[in-house]
């Protein structure tokens, strides 16, 4: 097993791998990932559940495996007439 550092925690005995089978050295809790990505923790969990953000559910807790997320832009709001 690989000793991984989870941001916000000391360490944990886990060995998540990415799709190519390489070990991932660092994972993030959604609240820490949200701070780094500049979005809310709720939004990070939503993106994880939708499969639009790379992550895994370990037990009952989501962990973010990759901090590469690009917003698609803000939606256009309708103008009040």
State the residue range of the domain holding 32. 3-64
Number of structural domains the chain divides into: 1
Q: Is the pLDDT of residue 10 over 50?
A: no
Q: Can you list the positions of beta strands (E) in 1-81?
A: 3-7, 12-13, 26-28, 55-58, 61-64
Residue 21 lies in a domain: yes
Q: Is the pLDDT of residue 33 over 70?
A: yes
Token output for 65: 């495996």
Residue 77 lies in a domain: no
Residue 70 lies in a domain: no
pLDDT in tens, 37-48: 999 999 999 999
Residue 71 lies in a domain: no
CB 61 within 8 A of CB 48: no
Q: What pLDDT band is residue 70 in, cutting at 50, 70 and 90? A: confident
């Amino acid at each position: 097993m690989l000793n991984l550092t989870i941001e916000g925690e000391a360490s944990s005995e886990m060995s998540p791998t990415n799709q190519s089978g390489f070990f991932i050295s660092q994972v993030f809790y959604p609240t820490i990932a949200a701070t780094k990505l500049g979005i809310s923790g709720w939004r990070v969990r939503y993106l994880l559940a939708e499969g639009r953000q790379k992550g895994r559910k370990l037990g009952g807790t989501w962990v973010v495996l990759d901090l590469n997320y690009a917003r698609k832009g803000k939606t256009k709001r309708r103008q009040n007439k």
